[in-house]
């Protein structure tokens, strides 16, 4: 088993705390991409607290693993994770979206410690991740690149351009995570623009592909350990997730792609998260 | 520092080669001195001559296939890894197909990526509007952090490719398809990115040209200076951004008549950049822009197209004649105000 009981309990607690903080920031900022941030929390918690070789005290450490959030609208979730991991003072979260503050809807890599790539427009992050993985090869470095893409984002042609290049160059230091939460702004992905059979598409593009429940920490840990050990091709982990995960009144509802929360809703959201913890 | 003996190209080569060929050779030399340079192509390694670098350093050369968006995004990632990507494709695709990747991934993050955009303007004449880049300067000039250079000939291309290494940030170097006549005899003329080079001195009118039109501006000036009694100044405005405001203002004060010439739309390129400087100065002057009007131009021989839009020697002479007849309001204390 990839996770000890103690690790699992700590990670679950951490993930619940991150979800509650995302609800807080959504309230403070007047509105945020909460649905797609909640769907990726378990994956990011596992990465940032177990698998990424990083040093929050030295965000520019040359040999660090890279994490690229290609679905840049998950910025609010990523910001909470980075603050929780110790990259910057949590006080900055209070100013999320405020004019001139360090943190905004889509994180700026030149401003936010620990953010490896500025993203926001869909279909850009994976290409940058491909460049970082190629860069490791040229420089003979051991760092690995983890890149999370959205499922709606996978409508973008550039995602598939990047996929072709990653497979062509056999980038086995690149692990791509698909946050398959099934929803985009206008509704279910399969109604807006069909993606299925999504895992088969990645396989056909040359990725070693695994499907995993994106909220099952032990299963995710096993998948990451497989992905890290795999050689000869890039890996795709299609993570089945629930948009709004943890907050009952948001789960599976496309209208919570983006929204604000009042004090009452924040309390309700937190109660829901803690009950499920 | 390189010396002449370490270069694989010579001034002789510059006379025989196209801008693209000299670029490939200079980059190969730079690659020997700078192990962090990597070369990127989108199935145009042969056409853009970056393949010369790829032959010398196969481990540092990546072909991305016909996928320019991904190529420029990957260039951003390579730069983030600490490398210095030189990315080569046609100007039309660098500025339009991959526009947002250049703007958001490279310029927004202020990354050290060098874009070598070939086939600028109408230089791929027979390719037609799909392969003409008459809009690239107006598009990319609006990107913060980006330095934009359009060398006038092979010597200046070699200098621009070398000097862009001194800039810690993105640079767009716009070159032609080839066949550009040579202007400079040696590299020793004081090329500096951001500083216009005065090729002919004059007091009656200033022609400000960029890229492949500089040659025609010089030819036109030489003919007029010899035959018409005019005193025509020529500025090679090889750097479009940042524009050399001092050189424009000096020309404005000293000649009071200005003509810009570019192988590009008259909307948003050199002429617009110069017009901005003139307008902000508050000075009246006689001014005109030569370039491609607001139209998609036909396919054809580049020289024919340049003639059609008067961005060749004949067209410049004709337009200078018109501009010399134009009245403009002079301030009494003109020189005091500048």
Average pLDDT over residues B141-168: 96
Averaged pLDDT, B320-333: 84
| pLDDT of B7 over the 60 cut | no
Nearest by CB to B65, from A116, A127, A164: name it. Answer: A164
Where chain A has pLDDT below 70, the residues are 1, 277
Given an 8 Å threshold on Cβ–Cβ distance, is A164 in contact with B77?
A: no
Check CB contact under 8 Å for B105 and A127. yes
Answer left, alpha or beta for residue B312, where phi above 0 means left and psi between -120 and 50 means alpha.
Answer: beta
Q: How does pLDDT run across B250-295, given as a tens digit for each residue?
A: 999 999 999 999 999 999 999 999 999 999 999 999 999 999 999 9
A179-226 pLDDT per residue, tens: 999 999 999 999 999 999 999 999 999 999 999 999 999 999 999 999
Asked if B228 reaches chain A (Cβ–Cβ under 8 Å), the answer is no
With residues binned 3-state (H G I as helix, E B as strand, rest as coil), the percentages for chain B, rounded to 5, are: 45, 20, 35
> What separation in angstroms does the CA of B137 have from each of A152, A156, B147, B160?
33, 27, 11, 17
The highest-level CATH class for domain B4-174 is: alpha beta
Q: Would you call A144 an interface residue with chain B, using a CB distance cutoff of 8 Å?
A: no
* Residue from the list A62, A124, A169 with its beta carbon closest to the beta carbon of B105: A124
Size of interface A-B (CB pairs under 8 A): 108
Q: State pLDDT tens for residues B51-105.
A: 889 999 999 999 999 999 999 999 999 999 999 999 999 999 999 999 999 999 9
CB contacts of A117 in chain B (<8 Å) are 76-77, 80, 109
Question: Taking CB atoms and an 8 Å limit, are A127 and B77 in contact across chains?
Answer: yes
pLDDT at B334: 55
Matching CATH number, A5-276, of 3.90.1150.10, 3.40.50.1980, 3.30.700.30, 3.40.50.970: 3.40.50.970
Confidence grade of residue B335 (pLDDT, cut at 50, 70, 90):
low
Q: Which of B175, B241, B173, B215 is nearest to B311 (CA)?
A: B215
Residues A127 and A158 sit within 8 Å (Cβ to Cβ): yes
**Of the options 3.40.50.920, 3.40.640.10, 3.30.499.10, 3.90.1010.10, the CATH number for the domain spanning B197-328:** 3.40.50.920
Residue B82 to residue A134, Cβ atoms within 8 A: no
Interface predicted TM-score of the whole assembly (ipTM), two decimals: 0.96
Residue written as token pair 């590299």: B187
- Under 8 Å between Cβ of A82 and A73: no
Q: How confident is the model at residue B28 (pLDDT cuts 50, 70, 90)?
A: very high
pLDDT of residue B177: 79
Domain boundaries, chain A: 5-276
Q: Which residues contact B315 (CB under 8 A, 6 or more apart)?
A: B216, B290, B306, B307, B309
pLDDT digits (tens, 9 = 90+) for B141-154: 999 999 999 999 99
Mean pLDDT, rounded, for B290-308: 96
Cβ neighbours of B92 (radius 10 Å): 24
Predicted pLDDT at B180:
76
The closest CB to that of A158, out of B73, B75, B77, belongs to B73
Give the model confidence (pLDDT) of B185-228 as tens digits. 999 999 999 999 999 999 999 999 999 999 999 999 999 999 99
Q: Which residue has the tokens 């769907």?
A: A39
Distance to chain B for A227, nearest Cα, Å: 21
Using a CB-CB distance cutoff of 8 angstroms, which residues of chain B are in contact with residue A129? 77
Interacting residues of B91 by C-beta distance below 8 A, sequence separation 6+ = B117, B118, B119, B120, B121, B133, B136, B174
Pairwise CA distance, residues A277 & A271, whole Å: 10
- Cβ contact, residue pair A131, B104, below 8 Å: no
Cα A129 to Cα A236: distance, rounded to the nearest angstrom: 13
Cis check for the bond before A11: say yes or no (omega within 30 of 0): no
pTM (two decimals): 0.95
Range 64-93 of B in CB contact (< 8 A) with A? 64-65, 67, 69-83, 85
In the numeric block, which tokens belong to residue B221?
């000036």
Helices H, strands E: what count in chain A? 10, 7
- Domain locations in chain B? 4-174, 197-328
A139 touches B at CB < 8 Å:
yes
pLDDT at B338: 47
Q: What's the CA angle centered on B114, arms B113 and B116, to 5 degrees?
A: 145
Map residue A120 onto helix, strand or coil.
coil
Query: Tens of pLDDT along B43-64?
Result: 988 877 888 899 999 999 999 9
Q: Share the mean pLDDT of chain B.
A: 92
Q: Residue by residue, what is the 3-state secondary structure of A160-172?
A: HHHHHHHHHCCCC
């Amino acid at each position: 088993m990839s996770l000890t009981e103690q690790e699992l309990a700590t990670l679950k607690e951490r993930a619940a705390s991150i979800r509650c903080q995302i609800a807080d920031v959504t309230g403070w900022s007047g509105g945020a991409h909460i649905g797609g941030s909640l769907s990726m929390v378990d994956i990011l918690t596992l990465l940032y607290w177990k698998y990424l070789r990083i040093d929050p005290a030295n965000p520019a450490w040359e040999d660090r693993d890279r994490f690229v959030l290609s679905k840049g609208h998950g910025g609010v979730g990523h910001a909470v994770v980075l603050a929780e991991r110790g990259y910057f003072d949590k006080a900055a979260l209070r100013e999320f979206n405020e004019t001139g503050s360090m943190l905004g809807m889509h994180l700026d890599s030149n401003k936010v410690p620990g953010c490896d790539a500025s993203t926001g427009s869909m279909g850009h992050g994976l290409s940058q991740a491909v460049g970082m993985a190629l860069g490791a090869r040229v420089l003979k470095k051991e760092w690995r690149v983890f890149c999370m893409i959205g499922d709606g984002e996978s409508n973008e042609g550039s995602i598939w351009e990047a996929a072709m290049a990653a497979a062509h160059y056999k980038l086995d230091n690149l692990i791509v995570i698909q946050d398959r939460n099934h929803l985009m702004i206008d509704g279910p992905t399969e109604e807006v623009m069909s993606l299925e059979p999504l895992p088969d598409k990645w396989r056909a593009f040359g990725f070693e592909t695994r499907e995993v429940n994106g909220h099952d920490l032990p299963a995710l840990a096993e998948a990451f350990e497989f992905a890290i050990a795999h050689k000869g091709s890039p890996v795709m982990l299609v993570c089945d997730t629930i948009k709004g995960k943890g907050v009952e009144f948001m789960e599976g509802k496309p209208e919570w792609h983006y929204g604000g929360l009042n004090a009452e809703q924040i309390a309700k959201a937190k109660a829901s998260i803690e009950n499920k913890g | 520092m390189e010396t002449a003996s370490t270069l694989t190209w010579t001034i002789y080569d510059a006379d025989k080669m196209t801008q693209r060929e000299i670029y490939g050779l200079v980059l190969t030399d730079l690659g020997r001195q700078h192990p962090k340079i990597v070369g990127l192509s989108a199935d145009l390694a042969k056409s853009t001559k970056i393949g010369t670098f790829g032959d010398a350093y196969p481990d540092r050369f990546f072909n991305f296939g016909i996928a320019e968006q991904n190529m420029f995004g990957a260039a951003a990632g390579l730069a983030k890894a600490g490398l210095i990507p030189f990315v080569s494709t046609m100007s039309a695709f660098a500025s339009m197909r991959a526009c947002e990747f250049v703007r958001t991934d490279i310029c927004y993050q202020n990354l050290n990526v060098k874009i070598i955009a070939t086939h600028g303007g109408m230089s791929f004449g027979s390719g037609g509007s799909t392969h003409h880049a008459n809009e690239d300067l107006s598009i990319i000039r609006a990107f913060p952090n980006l330095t934009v250079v359009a060398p006038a000939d092979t010597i200046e291309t070699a200098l621009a490719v070398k000097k862009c290494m001194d800039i810690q940030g993105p640079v767009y170097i716009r070159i032609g398809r080839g066949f550009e006549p040579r202007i400079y005899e040696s590299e020793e003329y004081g090329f500096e990115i951001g500083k216009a080079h005065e090729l002919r001195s004059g007091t009656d009118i200033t022609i400000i040209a960029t890229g492949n039109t500089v040659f025609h501006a010089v030819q036109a000036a030489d003919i007029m200076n010899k035959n018409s009694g005019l005193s025509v100044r020529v500025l090679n405005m090889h750097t479009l951004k940042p524009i050399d405001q001092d050189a424009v203002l000096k020309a404005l004060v000293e000649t009071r008549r200005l003509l810009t010439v570019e192988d590009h739309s008259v909307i948003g390129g050199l002429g617009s950049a110069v017009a901005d400087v003139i307008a902000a100065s508050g000075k009246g002057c006689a001014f005109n822009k030569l370039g491609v009007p607001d139209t998609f131009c036909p396919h054809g021989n580049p020289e024919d197209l340049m003639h059609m839009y008067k961005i060749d020697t004949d067209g410049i002479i004709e337009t200078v004649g018109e501009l010399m007849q134009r009245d403009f309001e002079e301030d009494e204390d003109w020189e005091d105000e500048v």
